[in-house]
Each structure stands twice: as structure tokens, then as C-alpha cells.
């Protein structure tokens, strides 16, 4: 498309544009065996080709899964590098999804929440599915609408065909706006508003009328233009010289045309477009090749927009407070619905009940949001997919085998994701590391240390100067306090005890049993370096609001953190590293844990349900 300013923007509606990651899951290895890479299993084949604790996968299962593109993409993404065949990748993903869906159902994530449990309040942010699936009933409905809308969109895109005649016509009439242009060669006639005032536009129109009646552009410029006459000759300009919007207009006019009056800073200009330079200077063949890629999407987009308008008209949203009824609501209920079953919103056959809305509000931790607000939020979030989904339903898409298959997979995928959110922290909590691995890291890589530390007693000679004291007076107080501290040091050197000295002078402060870190580059370090227990530093140390005479007790040099303490830090870091691996290789870890086996001998494997007490897992998949 190039780097020019002017390009046709293509927007997506109804959830289009799935990003399917097709990369492998990494270097995780699996004990499974592969069938031949080229083997394609026939649909309906019931031969067992894979087993796991509590289940098995048949050739027919894999053949059916191969027909769902999103399933294939997810299987490719989650497969380990040694899963060489597509059949093995599909069998692995099938087994993983089934295990997770079974786990979700075992935990009640597909059942309405217990009304008593709902009184517990908002769900914790770190565990959004802590209760039995309060919003799953509504989630299923919304998923179905999205799948239907996506199926309709896919069919619209598939049905679009563009002929070579259309390509040629778009090349002739619209290539500059579609491909984009970066420069324009044009002549200019300028009409100054400063000179002609409010009559500038009318004067520009007069000049344009003369040109369109056959007069020469340069000749009209001599008569009308307030610009330098040479600007009426052809000269190159950037595509945005007259602004982006005006540039788009020039692109629509094309080469050889004269523009309507273009507003500029001082009045108006008439532009004669001699040549437009396409972005990147492509050849005609290259331009047409780009148009072949662009036009189907643009055409599909236009059709989808028309369909969206038709869907909005045919399937309007009808709330409980609206008197109008939905087109699909032919048989109203014979008895008033219960509070939970009360329909708050309809769109065709799609209906939101109060119980479903409150369940989703609970799941989102939004119990304080009232029903009308929640309904409006859901309508804004899902407007296009609901209405387009109803249009697709009315066209019979819900009965299409591929749509039913896609819906089944999408529902299973969402339930599996719920179970995955539970299992990830549980598997990580079970994670253990061999003691020799932790010890090896401590010996070879762990470098944290405890800094030097001393325990000491301090006798403080306070520095107390009156608030109104001058700088000279304050300095004199400091000098006297320092001299008093030196005198105390001399008495200690003569054999006096600090405890005895402080008892004879109420002005002194006694701080026994202190401890502190002594960094090697601190002022304190050289004063206490090498002192034995009971020794006194030979120079007073300024701290605690005065000058201190320090008596050192126990001292410790910098030392490596003991293994007993470091072990917890090492294990914490190992768990942090394992989180990344667990996310990347979760499916492989899950299948290993459930003893997945793939190969021609799978039917002979005996598989029982997984034990209640989960087995420990390694951090390497």
C-alpha cells in the first residue's frame, strides 16, 4: 500500500479478523509416539489412536476436528516440537480440551451459582471464577451469537468475486485514493481574501467558469491570480500541501482536472492537476495486483455494512420497558415469569433474562450495577454480533454442520479456559524442585549477602543550641560537645566505664544495645574496623543529635546469605521462571500429567481415571 497519506481504510465488523497463532509451542518434549506425517484419518473411523487417564480419542474424532480451522490453529499452537503429524497435534488438543471441559464441569463452572453463595460479595480480582459459573448461562448465548455472526461474515467474504473489468475500472477512476499518492504536479491560481474580502470566493468561481468554458489556465491566471504568475505553471507539491482532506479531493478528481475553489490560509486556490505520483511509484501491473487484494475486502465490507443495517432494522432491541414487541415474539408467555426468568432484553430469538444478567454481573464483580445499566452495557458490548447473529439464524445458519461444529468447539474452548485458570495455580503450587538443584544454584549462582553489622552501646553528648542562636554560637556549641566527647574517651582509656560516666552527668544520653549495618564506604566503617568486643572507638562519631562514644559489642563481616534463608528465595525465583513455562507449555504438562499416549497401540492401553491426589509435576514440560 506504500507510505503515502491517502489510503482507503478498511474496517472490520461482527468480530472479523481472527488472529490465529500458528507457531509451535516450543521445545517441550512428550512421551507420545507419532503416526506418519502424511496420514489423514477418515471421518467416522472409531479406531482408538490416543488414550489418556479417563478417556480416548478415535480416528473419527480427529477427522472431524480437522474440519474446524480454529481448532486446527489452536492444536498447531499448543503442540510440542516432537508432535510431527497433524493427526497427533489434533489428538493432543482434543484430549486436552476434553480434560479441561471435564474439570470445569466437575467444579460446577457450567452451572448457575448458588443464590446463597452469591451473597458472599464481589469475586476476587485474582480469581474471577471462584464460584460456580454465575455468568455461564449468558456467556453461552453471547458465544452463539458471535459464532453465527462470524459464519455469516465468512460466507459474505467467500462469496465476493471481483472481475478484471472491475479491476480495470477502479484502476482508471480510483487508483490514486486506493493506492495512495505522495506528490502532485499542479498549476495554481490564488484569490486573496485579504485583497478581495468576502468577494474572494465569487471571484474564484468566475475564474473557474472561464477555465471550464475553454480558456487557457495560464491566461486566466494572468487576469485573476494574486499569486506569482509562475505558480500557474506546473510544479511539484507534496500530497498534503493543501491539507489531507483537500488531498483526498485531488485524488478523486484525477489527472487533467481543475479543482473547485480550495480554501487556503489567505482565500482560495484553483488547482490544475497535471500528474499524481503514486506512493512507491508502482507499475500499472503492480497497482492492479494491489487492487486485486484490496477490492474483495472493500466489497465484503460494504456488503457487511448493508447487512448490519438490515439486521438492525429487522431485529431491533426490545427492552422490558418498551411497548413494542419483537418480530419473533409471536407467542407471549401464558403466565408471568419469575423474577429470575423475567426477560429484560429481546432481539429476535435472543433474550436476556434477569437471572442471566445478574449472574454475569456477579461474575464481573458488578453486583451494584442495576439491571437497566447491565443490559445497556451488554447491548453496547455485543450490539453487532447479536443482531448479525439473529440475521444469520433467520437465514438457517444455525443448522449448518460447520456452524454447529464451530459453536461446539467455541463453547468447549471457553469452558476449558475457565478450568485452566483454576489448574495453573494449583499445578504451580504442587511444583517441587530437587534439593540438589536448589543447592547447586546456591553454590554457583546465588550472590546475595548480609552486609557488615555491629552491635554497640552509645553514650551521646547532645548538641543543643537555642533556636535563636547565631551560626557562630551554634558552631561553638558543637565544638564544646565534641571536646566533651573527647574528654569522655580519655577517661575510658584511663579505665572508666561508660555506665559510670553517664550516671554522673544528667546531660548525657545512654543508648545501650544498639545495632546497625555498617557499609564499607560509610564514615563509621573505619572507626569500628578491627575493634574487638568491648573496645571503644578512638574518635567520637556524630549521630543521634550529638557526638557519640561507641563501645563495640558483637560484629559480623559481610557474608553470604545462609542456605537455610536463601533456599526460599531460590525456590521463589524458580517458581517465577516456571510460570512462563507453564503458560507456554500448559497443554503438554497437562497431557503428561494425564499419561497421554498416541500411536497405533493406543487401543491396547489401559487408562483409568486420574487419582484424587494430584501427582507432582516437574517444571520442565
Q: How confident is the model at residue 321 (pLDDT cuts 50, 70, 90)?
A: low
* Mean pLDDT to the nearest integer, 399-404: 94
pLDDT of residue 424: 87
Work out the percent of the chain whose per-residue pLDDT is above 90.
53
Helices then strands, counting H and E runs in the chain, come out as 20, 16
Task: List, in order, residues 6 or more apart from 166 with CB less than 8 Å away.
Answer: 295
Copy the grid coordinates of residue 618.
Answer: 516437574
With beta carbons less than 8 A apart as the criterion, state whether 613 and 72 touch: no
Residue 121: per-residue pLDDT: 52
Q: Are strands 48-52 and 262-264 parallel, antiparallel or unpaired?
A: unpaired
Residue range 50-69: average pLDDT? Answer: 93
Q: Is the pLDDT of residue 210 over 90?
A: yes
Residue 128 in this model has a pLDDT that exceeds 80: no
Q: Which CATH number applies to 456-560?
A: 3.10.50
| Average pLDDT for the chain | 82
- pLDDT at position 264: 92
Q: Are strands 350-353 and 48-52 parallel, antiparallel or unpaired?
A: unpaired
In tens, the pLDDT along 588-613 reads: 999 999 999 998 666 656 554 443 33
φ/ψ of 556, rounded to 5, equals -130, 135
CB-based contact 14:152 (threshold 8 Å)? yes
Q: Quick one: average pLDDT of 534-552?
A: 93
* 403 CB-near residues (< 8 Å, 6+ apart): 147, 148, 151, 397
- Which candidate, 65, 67, 81, 90, places its Cα nearest to that of 27? 81
pLDDT digits (tens, 9 = 90+) for 407-466: 999 999 999 999 998 888 888 888 888 999 999 999 999 999 988 999 999 999 999 989
Give the pLDDT band (50/70/90) at residue 109.
confident
Average pLDDT of 118-128? 46
What mean pLDDT do residues 387-410 have? 94
Cα gap 96→415, rounded to integer Å: 12
Which pLDDT band, with edges at 50, 70 and 90, does 24 fall under? Answer: very low
Instruction: Give the model confidence (pLDDT) of 130-173 as tens digits.
Output: 444 678 888 999 999 999 999 999 999 999 999 999 999 888 88
> What architecture (CATH level 2) is domain 181-278?
Roll (3.10)
Inform me whether the pLDDT recorded for 283 exceeds 70. Answer: yes
Residue 414 is predicted with a pLDDT of 93
The domains of the chain are located at 181-278, 456-560
CA distance 290 to 167: 10
Instruction: Say which range, 318-332, 460-474, 523-537, 580-594, has the weakest mean pLDDT.
Output: 318-332
Pair 257, 185: CB distance under 8 Å: no
Indicate if 456-560 has the same CATH topology as 181-278.
Answer: yes
Amino acid at each position: 500500500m506504500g507510505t503515502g497519506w491517502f489510503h482507503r481504510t478498511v474496517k472490520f465488523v461482527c468480530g472479523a479478523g481472527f488472529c490465529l497463532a500458528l507457531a509451535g509451542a516450543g521445545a517441550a518434549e512428550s512421551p507420545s509416539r507419532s503416526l506418519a506425517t502424511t496420514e489423514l484419518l477418515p471421518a467416522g473411523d472409531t479406531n482408538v489412536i490416543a488414550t489418556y487417564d479417563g478417556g480416548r480419542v478415535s480416528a473419527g474424532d480427529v477427522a472431524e476436528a480437522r474440519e474446524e480451522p480454529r481448532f486446527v490453529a489452536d492444536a498447531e499452537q499448543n503442540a510440542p516440537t516432537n508432535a510431527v503429524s497433524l493427526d497427533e497435534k489434533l489428538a493432543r488438543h482434543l484430549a486436552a480440551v476434553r480434560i479441561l471441559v471435564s474439570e470445569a464441569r466437575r467444579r460446577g463452572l457450567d452451572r448457575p451459582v448458588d443464590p446463597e453463595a452469591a451473597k458472599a460479595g464481589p469475586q476476587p480480582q485474582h480469581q474471577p471464577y471462584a464460584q460456580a459459573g454465575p455468568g455461564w448461562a449468558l456467556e453461552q448465548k453471547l458465544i452463539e451469537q458471535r459464532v453465527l455472526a462470524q459464519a455469516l461474515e465468512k460466507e459474505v467474504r467467500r462469496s465476493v468475486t471481483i472481475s478484471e473489468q472491475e479491476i480495470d475500472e477502479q484502476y482508471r477512476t480510483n487508483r490514486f485514493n486506493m493506492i495512495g499518492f505522495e506528490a502532485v504536479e499542479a498549476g495554481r491560481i490564488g484569490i486573496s481574501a485579504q485583497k478581495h474580502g468576502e468577494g474572494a470566493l465569487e471571484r474564484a468561481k468566475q475564474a473557474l467558469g472561464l477555465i471550464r468554458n475553454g480558456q487557457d489556465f495560464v491566461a486566466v491566471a494572468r487576469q485573476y491570480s494574486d499569486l506569482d504568475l509562475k505558480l500557474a505553471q506546473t510544479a511539484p507539491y507534496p500530497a498534503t500541501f493543501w491539507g489531507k482532506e483537500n488531498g483526498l479531493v485531488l485524488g478523486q478528481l484525477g489527472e487533467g482536472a481543475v479543482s473547485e475553489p480550495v480554501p487556503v490560509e489567505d482565500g482560495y486556490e484553483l488547482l490544475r492537476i497535471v500528474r499524481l505520483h503514486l506512493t512507491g511509484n508502482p507499475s500499472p501491473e503492480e497497482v492492479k495486483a494491489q487492487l486485486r487484494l484490496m477490492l474483495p475486502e472493500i466489497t465484503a465490507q460494504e456488503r457487511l455494512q448493508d447487512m448490519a443495517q438490515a439486521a438492525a432494522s429487522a431485529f431491533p432491541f426490545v427492552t422490558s420497558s418498551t411497548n413494542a414487541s419483537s418480530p419473533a415474539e409471536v407467542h407471549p408467555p401464558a403466565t408471568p415469569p419469575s423474577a429470575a426468568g423475567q426477560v429484560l432484553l429481546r432481539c429476535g430469538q435472543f433474550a436476556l433474562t434477569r437471572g442471566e444478567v445478574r449472574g454475569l454481573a456477579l461474575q464481573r464483580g458488578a453486583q451494584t450495577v442495576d439491571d437497566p445499566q447491565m443490559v445497556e452495557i451488554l447491548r453496547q458490548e455485543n450490539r453487532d454480533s447479536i443482531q448479525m447473529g439473529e440475521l444469520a439464524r433467520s437465514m438457517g445458519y444455525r443448522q449448518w454442520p460447520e456452524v454447529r461444529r464451530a459453536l461446539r468447539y467455541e463453547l468447549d474452548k471457553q469452558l476449558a479456559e475457565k478450568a485452566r485458570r483454576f489448574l495453573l495455580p494449583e499445578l504451580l503450587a504442587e511444583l517441587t524442585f530437587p534439593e540438589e538443584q536448589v543447592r547447586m544454584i546456591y553454590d554457583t549462582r546465588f550472590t546475595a549477602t548480609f552486609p557488615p553489622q555491629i552491635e554497640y552501646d552509645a553514650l551521646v553528648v547532645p548538641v543543643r543550641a537555642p533556636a535563636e542562636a547565631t551560626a557562630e554560637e551554634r558552631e561553638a556549641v558543637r565544638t564544646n560537645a565534641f571536646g566533651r566527647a573527647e574528654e569522655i574517651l580519655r577517661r575510658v582509656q584511663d579505665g572508666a566505664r561508660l555506665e559510670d560516666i553517664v550516671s554522673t552527668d544528667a546531660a548525657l544520653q545512654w543508648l545501650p544495645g544498639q545495632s546497625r549495618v555498617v557499609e564499607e564506604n560509610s564514615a563509621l566503617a573505619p572507626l569500628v574496623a578491627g575493634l574487638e568486643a568491648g573496645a571503644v572507638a578512638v574518635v567520637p562519631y556524630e549521630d543521634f543529635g550529638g557526638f557519640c562514644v561507641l563501645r563495640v559489642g558483637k560484629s559480623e563481616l559481610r557474608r553470604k546469605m545462609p542456605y537455610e534463608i536463601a533456599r526460599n528465595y531460590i525456590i521463589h525465583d524458580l517458581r517465577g521462571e516456571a510460570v512462563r513455562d507453564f503458560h507456554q507449555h500448559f497443554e503438554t504438562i497437562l497431557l503428561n500429567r494425564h499419561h497421554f499416549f498416541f500411536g497405533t497401540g493406543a487401543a491396547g492401553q489401559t487408562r483409568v481415571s486420574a487419582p484424587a491426589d494430584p501427582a507432582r509435576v516437574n517444571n520442565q514440560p
